[in-house]
Amino acid sequence: MKKIAYILVMCLGVWCAGCSENGDDGYYDDFYRVYFPVDSLNYAFGDKPVEMAKYTVKVPVQILGEPARADMKVNVKVDLASTTATAEAYTAVPSEITIPKDSIVGYVPVEIIRENVMDERDTVFRVVLQLEASPDFALGVKEGLRATVTFSNYLAEPEWWVGLKDVFWGPYQKEKYQKMMEIWGGPITLDDYVYKMVKLINVAKEMYEYFQEHPEYGMEFPPYIFWPYE
């Protein structure tokens, strides 16, 4: 009987020790702790509508354990040494965010400004975020203390574009293709070009009329266009 009691006491001790593990030092210390549950998020402007000037990537920050007992503040900074995006490419990231009461997740907003993101091939920019301790939170696992937001603005010229560029849509400019995809409902393939030519030309006409109404985009077209379909 004593042997059984001894085993139960030992098991209880092991269980208590296991329950106390937390943080880098391995034990609970009555602090709320936070981390990034996702270490990388990507956004591509390339195929988005012409009118989309900005986009906000919401980077989640999560509590280890119980929900927040009240609205609680998390400190965050941009690691400028690791960030490749220029300051003009994104809105200043707040140094403090809130995890609401009874929640385990808050978000760091990273607003990207499209006109300041170059559209060169294979050019991807990044903003690197770093969590910092605050009066409300200690830091969680070290692997979750940094998160990277990557973004680009490149849109490749479709292979069919050259076919009728001197007749209808002019030289390739990504804004034209973005508007055509918006009207079409998605990317336009070579098969679409071959088998859905009437629809494609009508979409090109609608795109052309849009940019005639918005000359501020500076789109170039052939001097004389005869649209064969109404």
All domains in the chain, ordered by first residue? 32-152 (2.60.40.1740), 161-217 (no CATH)
Range of weakest confidence among 26-30, 199-203, 218-222: 26-30
Per-residue pLDDT, 171:
96
Segment 5-39, tens digit of pLDDT: 444 334 444 334 444 444 444 444 567 899 999 99
Rounded to 10 degrees, the C-alpha dihedral 24/132/32/22 comes to -10
Query: Per DSSP, which regions of the chain are E strands?
Result: 33-35, 40-44, 54-64, 72-78, 96-99, 105-113, 125-132, 138-139, 146-152
Segment 104-146, tens digit of pLDDT: 999 999 999 999 998 888 789 999 999 999 999 999 888 899 9
> What DSSP designation does 166 have?
I
Burial of 201 (0-12, 13-18, 19+ CB in 10 A): middle
* Cα-only R_g, the chain: 27
pLDDT at 159 over 70: yes
- Cα 105 to Cα 124: distance, rounded to the nearest angstrom: 28
Give me the residue label for tokens 């969680």: 140
Q: pLDDT-derived band of residue 230, with 50, 70 and 90 as boundaries? A: low
N-to-C CA span, the chain: 95
Per-residue pLDDT, 30:
66
Per-residue pLDDT, 141:
84
Share of the chain above pLDDT 90, in %: 77
Predicted TM-score (pTM) of this structure: 0.76
pLDDT at 150 over 80: yes
* Residue 196 phi, psi (nearest 5): -130, 45
